[in-house]
Structure 1
Amino acid sequence: MLVLVTGGTGFVGAHTVAALVAAGHRVRVLARDPRRVAPALTPLSVPGDAVHVVDGDVVDETAVARAVRGVDALVHAASVYSFDSRSHEATRRTNARGTQVVLAAARRLGVGRSVHVSTFGALAPSPAGTVGPQSPPTTAGETYLASKAAAERVARGHQAHGDPVVIAYPPALLGPHDPKLGDQNARLRNVLRGLMPMWPTGGFPVGDVRDTAALLAELATAPAEDGGRHLGPGRYLSTRDYVRAVREATGRRLPTLFLPARAMLPFAYATDLVQRVWPWHIPAEYGACYVCATDARPQEAARSAGPAPRPIGETLVDTVRWLHRTGRLTAGQTGLAGAPVVPAAPAAGPVEAAAPPRREARS
């Protein structure tokens, strides 16, 4: 099959490309900056000539049509995922509009199967305290979650129309080989650097990006299905359990004070206002605190098919070692100073010397 992946230079998208290529499928990537494709995919052992690259943005109808034309299936993983208030404008501009453009092109050009990558947070908060595939989209005022809820409504509209659109709801994702050091891996790094001595109570589902990528590849290439919705593989962790798991994985003490999440929301909102003018990132983000305050738990009966989630300890160790190998943590910060650390696997030559991904000409 020929599968298009939007957001192929991001965390979820790059791992999904790798999963598709490993399964023997041909892959096309829509990328705003084609120069980022090789650095994102080479660490995942994706050969440079295994993907075709189409230049363009997901909000550009012409570029999207060029990328969608002729594919058998697509995975729409492109979005701005950040709770940083400096990203709010890009988040509002990209997430819902990009989903509108991509899924409209898929309908118009007769794509056999489209997978929209949503998030569990698009369904929270829930009056029942649990979320599942039939939960309504959130009405949260937080920018990122509101943008994903708007995209969710677009995708469900296509399902209601009878289009072969499948929706996946990944948990918060950790894992190695994160091209842009996204929200969750950056938060883990901040914990180990001692920048997060206070946490809100509550919790959230957590998973491994490699498990989610395997699910997305499976959904994209399975027999046609209308209206499917799937929770991504993961496990709910309270924030206390999360910090405890990090301590166990690293051997670090990590003294932490836990405060009521709802009591922390005004402080977190104030830091968001400061962050808009402060040049350095402030770890206390309103959106992250809001997620903990909603304390959404996946419905056990709605667990997705696909891979079983790997142990959180395995994910944390792999992620921490990758953060160390890439120079983002010192050996002392990892807590693994006495353990052998395997160097990052070298590419088949420098990125510049690797076979460049084939680029499709603009029409």
Structure 2
Amino acid sequence: MRVLVTGGTGFLGSHSVARILAAGHEVRLLVRAPTRVVPALGPLGVDPAAVDVARGDVTDAAAVALAMRGCDAVLHAASVYSFDTREHTRMRAVNVRGTEVVLDAARDAGADPIVYVSSFAALLPSAEDPITTDSPVGAPRETYMATKAAAELVARRRQDAGEPVVITYPLATLGPHDPHLGDQTSRIRNALRGLMPMWPSGGFPIGDVRDVAGLHAAVLRPGQGPRRYFAPGSYVSTRELVQTLRRVTGRALPAIHLPARAMLPVGALTGLTQRIVPAHIPAEYGAIYTCLVGRAVDTSATAALLGPHHHPLETTMLDTVRWLHRAGHITDRLAGSAATQEQPERRHG
């Protein structure tokens, strides 16, 4: 089938495009900047000639409808993922309005399936532990998470109407080849650079980008109706995350762990300051809040679809650090022992 992919030059999107092509499908990309296609897909071994490129924005209904012509299915992965307060206006437009536009165009074109890439954060905060795909949509006190919750409601209304919408929930995602050095990858880089000596208590579920891509390729089956799947992964405390970084780099990485609730006012102040400071400040309210309300997720439905195997945390973290080093984002010293390990990036499942 021919699949329209939005967000295909991003972290999740580019890896998903590679897996979708490997599964034998054709891909058309809807992109704002065609010059980003080669840098995003080339490192993944994708020949740019293998994809059809349509220029447009997900908030432009005419451009989306034109890109949909001749496509059988959709993977809507376009999203502004950031806890940076300077991005609030753009994420409201892209994350909510963009989802409405793309899902409407896909429905009108008779696409099946229509895959919407949500986030586990759309279901936070939650009284359930673990969270399931049937858990209610959350009402989070943070803008990015709130926009994903609003977009989740859009997608669930389509499911309730019987449309073949498949919702996937990536976890906090790491792994190699992040075209734009996104929020999670930057957080690991900042930790290695010593910019994050204080960590909030709590934790959140973490997954590998290659497992998310595998899920997106696997759900591209028509005639299955509405479905929901968490991406593979597991809950990780911030202490375990730092300890894993220490193991893969061989570095001490001193860290102080403070109660997440006590750190929230610092994050809120940082958010206000960030609006007038051009340089990015690592202490973000959204990241602290996620650690406070983070929960484990029930991935049993995903395991039934893909099998129980996925990249373990240590493999994901090692491959993330090794890629940061190879791409020139961190020095030999910051990468530690990960810089000298020559084994290929490992894949499970």
Tell me the TM-score range normalised by the shorter chain.
over 0.9
The yes-or-no answer on 1:29 pairing with 2:29 is: yes
Structure 1, residues 288-325: CA drift from partner, whole Å, max 9, x if none?
A: 11100002111365554325221111111111111011
User: Following the alignment from structure 1 to structure 2, what is the Cα–Cα distance between the partners of residues 70 and 154?
Assistant: 24
User: Following the alignment from structure 2 to structure 1, what is the Cα–Cα distance between the partners of residues 20 and 302?
Assistant: 22
In structure 2, do the counterparts of structure 1 residues 311 and 337 end up closer, same or farther at CA, with 3 Å as the change threshold?
closer
Report the alpha carbon displacement of residue 121 of structure 1 after superposing the two structures with TM. Answer: 0.6
The yes-or-no answer on 1:277 pairing with 2:292 is: no
Alpha-carbon contact 2:325-2:339 (below 8 Å) kept = no
What corresponds to 1:352 in structure 2?
A: none
User: Following the alignment from structure 2 to structure 1, what is the Cα–Cα distance between the partners of residues 131 and 338?
Assistant: 40
What corresponds to 2:199 in structure 1?
A: 199
Structure with the larger RCO, 1 or 2 (CA within 8 Å, 6+ apart): 1
Structure 1, residues 5-59: CA drift from partner, whole Å, max 9, x if none?
A: 1000100000000001111211000000111011100000000110000000000
What corresponds to 2:184 in structure 1?
A: 184
What corresponds to 1:229 in structure 2?
A: 228
Instruction: Provide the secondary structure at the position in 2 that maps to 1:206.
Output: strand
User: Following the alignment from structure 1 to structure 2, what is the Cα–Cα distance between the partners of residues 3 and 191?
Assistant: 37
Give the structure-1-normalised TM-score: 0.92
Query: What's the Cα RMSD here?
Result: 1.6
User: Following the alignment from structure 2 to structure 1, what is the Cα–Cα distance between the partners of residues 338 and 287?
Assistant: 30
User: Following the alignment from structure 1 to structure 2, what is the Cα–Cα distance between the partners of residues 337 and 107?
Assistant: 46
User: Following the alignment from structure 1 to structure 2, what is the Cα–Cα distance between the partners of residues 247 and 337?
Assistant: 10
What corresponds to 2:120 in structure 1?
A: 120
* Equivalent runs, 1:302-317 vs 2, <5 Å: 303-304=302-303, 305-306=305-306, 308-317=309-318
Unaligned runs of 5+ in 1: 345-363
Give the structure-2-normalised TM-score: 0.95
In structure 2, do the counterparts of structure 1 residues 342 and 34 end up closer, same or farther at CA, with 3 Å as the change threshold?
farther
Alpha-carbon contact 1:249-1:317 (below 8 Å) kept = yes
What corresponds to 1:355 in structure 2?
A: none
Report the alpha carbon displacement of residue 112 of structure 1 after superposing the two structures with TM. Answer: 1.7
User: Following the alignment from structure 1 to structure 2, what is the Cα–Cα distance between the partners of residues 299 and 318?
Assistant: 25
Alpha-carbon contact 1:132-1:302 (below 8 Å) kept = no
Q: Which runs of 4+ in 1 moved over 6 A?
A: none
Instruction: Provide the secondary structure at the position in 1 that maps to 2:287.
Output: helix
Instruction: Provide the secondary structure at the position in 1 that maps to 2:337.
Output: coil
Structure 1, residues 321-355: CA drift from partner, whole Å, max 9, x if none?
A: 110111100011011277255899xxxxxxxxxxx
Q: Which amino acid aligns with 2:205?
A: P
User: Following the alignment from structure 2 to structure 1, what is the Cα–Cα distance between the partners of residues 16 and 343?
Assistant: 24
Report the alpha carbon displacement of residue 89 of structure 1 after superposing the two structures with TM. Answer: 1.1
In structure 2, do the counterparts of structure 1 residues 337 and 81 end up closer, same or farther at CA, with 3 Å as the change threshold?
closer
Alpha-carbon contact 2:174-2:316 (below 8 Å) kept = yes
What corresponds to 1:165 in structure 2?
A: 165
What corresponds to 2:131 in structure 1?
A: 131
What corresponds to 2:291 in structure 1?
A: 292
Instruction: Provide the secondary structure at the position in 2 that maps to 1:135.
Output: coil
Q: Which amino acid aligns with 1:245?
A: T
User: Following the alignment from structure 2 to structure 1, what is the Cα–Cα distance between the partners of residues 299 and 117?
Assistant: 20
Alpha-carbon contact 2:6-2:76 (below 8 Å) kept = yes
The yes-or-no answer on 1:267 pairing with 2:259 is: no
In structure 2, do the counterparts of structure 1 residues 237 and 279 end up closer, same or farther at CA, with 3 Å as the change threshold?
same
The yes-or-no answer on 1:254 pairing with 2:253 is: yes
Q: Which amino acid aligns with 1:74?
A: V
Alpha-carbon contact 1:172-1:207 (below 8 Å) kept = yes
* Equivalent runs, 1:130-149 vs 2, <5 Å: 130-149=130-149
The aligned length equals 343
Report the alpha carbon displacement of residue 158 of structure 1 after superposing the two structures with TM. Answer: 0.5
In structure 2, do the counterparts of structure 1 residues 53 and 331 end up closer, same or farther at CA, with 3 Å as the change threshold?
same
Q: Which amino acid aligns with 1:295?
A: G
User: Following the alignment from structure 2 to structure 1, what is the Cα–Cα distance between the partners of residues 151 and 294?
Assistant: 22
Instruction: Provide the secondary structure at the position in 1 that maps to 2:323.
Output: helix
Identity of aligned residues (%): 55
User: Following the alignment from structure 2 to structure 1, what is the Cα–Cα distance between the partners of residues 273 and 299?
Assistant: 39
Q: Which amino acid aligns with 1:212?
A: V
